[in-house]
Structure 1
């Protein structure tokens, strides 16, 4: 388990991490999300003792990182896949780490096989593609067979097969009861991988909740309906006390998850439905709404100022509502 309590990091006047308190628990995959500059990498570096906190505390299974006798056997991490001596082969890079941490050499062959690099084990790392470098970094994280795994952007540079592989690897590690903490900007992949989410913005904790609750709390759920008997259905819904939140020439929208009730009413009154589908925002949409005021770097892409202002005003109205 990774435990943070009041963790704070300042660089001069800049507060990179601001009083973070949360726990990363075993047996599940915890996603770590936030806009660029939110403080995710700084937080991970403090977990590993690479940066010293200005205030607060962070512990790994109850100990500070520098108190761990065999750190690679407690926690394995991928923070920067490029942190490899380019003149060393994949095998010798891992062997050096193993010898420095009292890990048997046979483990090097095991992790090379796990990440699919056995065929290029003797090739120098400087000739590796970005995806191969990621696999080598993951092999290093797995080297000590640790109970805790921490990955920063693990799918960066991987092809579709590689993304599928790392997703299943993380799920398998969590299923074994290990603690898995992963940071990524790829929302579609995080939605398929993470069970729990920790979201930060400008160094502050914004959410610490399950994936399902995060989407439900930061998005609008509604039922989309299409019917050729629009007016008749409107009357039926009104009589049943169901308010139509939005309507067009062909589509009706009802807030909440009332699809079963609407289907039953339509059947009772012999109303034909061409569509009756529950709708909910994606993880990306929920994330964008929650972090809208925490984004440090905005790119407008030539969008007219009036349109940007209208979108900002809509966002403010949504948050107030």
Structure 2
């Protein structure tokens, strides 16, 4: 379990993380969401002892990260797939991590096989594609067979097969009772993977709830109706005291209605329905609604024909092993 209590980080005048308190529990995949600049990377770095909090506390299974002996056997993390020595082979990169954490050499071959890199185990990492580097970073996180795993943008650079694999891997790890904490901007992927969500904006906690509750609490739900007898259907709904909105293209929308009761009402009046379907917002729509006031970077298309400016990618974040001595304080992503 990862526990945060009043975690705060300030960089000069910039308050990157503000009094965060939440727990990441075992047995489920917890998604970590927030707009760019929300403080996600800074929070994850403080969890791993790469940044020191200005105030508050964060504990890994009841201990500060610095108190963990052989930390890779407690918590494995992927923060930056490029955080490796490019001149080393995949095997030697992992071997260095294993030797520094008292992990048997045989484990290196095991995790290389798990992530599908056995055929390139002796090739230098600098020649790896982004997806191969991502797989190597995941291998490093799995190396110590830890009870806690943390992934930042784990599907970055992966092909569809790789995305499907990492999704199932995270679910499998959680199913084994491990703590799995994953940050991603891909809402569609998070919706398929996470059971619980922690959402922050401008360093503040906005939500700490289940996936289903998050979508229900931050979106509009309604029932969509279509009928060749639309005018008659409208009359029946109005007579029943049901508020209905005409959405165009022959579609009617009833907020908060029960599909079963609406279907029974139509059947009672012998009305033909071509569609009767409950509608709910996607995770992306719910997320956009909740975080609308906390987005730091807004694109504008004021001029006709202008395309929105491309947002700068997040700063590279130091990860494991030999990259630690390069870790520096960074502002929130």
Q: Say yes or no: TM over 0.5.
A: yes
Aligned equivalent of 1:208? 208
The count of aligned residue pairs is 305
> Which residue is 2:239 aligned to?
239
The aligned counterpart of 1:111 is: 111
2:256 matched to which residue of 1? 256
CA contact (8 A) 1:31 1:194 kept: yes
Alignment of 1:1-321 (within 5 A): 1-248=1-248, 250-302=250-302
CA distance, structure 2, for counterparts of residue 74 and residue 47 of structure 1 = 12
TM-score using structure 1 length? 0.93
Residue in 1 that maps onto 2:320: none
Point out where structure 1 has 5 or more consecutive residues left out of the alignment.
305-321
Rate the CA distance shift 1:248–1:54 in 2: closer, same or farther, 3 A: same
Distance across 1 between alignment mates of 2:167 and 2:124: 27
Task: Tell me the alpha carbon deviations over residues 2-37 of structure 1, each in whole angstroms, 9 at most, x when there is no partner.
Answer: 000100000000000000000000000000000001
1:133-163 deviation per Cα after TM superposition (whole angstroms, max 9, x unaligned): 0000000000000000000000000000000
Structure 2 gap ranges (5+): 305-333
CA distance in structure 1 between the partners assigned to 2:233 and 2:21 by the alignment? 50
Residue 70 of structure 2 contacts residue 100 of structure 2 at CA under 8 Å; is this kept in 1? no
Q: TM-score, normalised by structure 2?
A: 0.90
Distance of 1:235 and 1:249 partners within structure 2? 18
Q: Report which structure shows greater RCO (CA 8 Å, sep ≥6).
A: 2
Shift of 1:228: 1.2
Partner of 1:310: none
Distance 1:109 1:257, change over 3 A: farther
Contact map agreement 1:246 1:254 (CA 8 A) in 2: no
**How many angstroms apart in 1 are the aligned matches of 2:176 and 2:113?**
19
Q: State the alpha-carbon separation in 1 of the partners of residues 56 and 242 from structure 2.
A: 50
Following superposition, the deviation at residue 245 of structure 1 comes to: 3.4
Mapped to 2, the partners of 1:65 and 1:248 lie a distance apart of: 57
User: How big is the shift at 1:70?
Assistant: 2.0
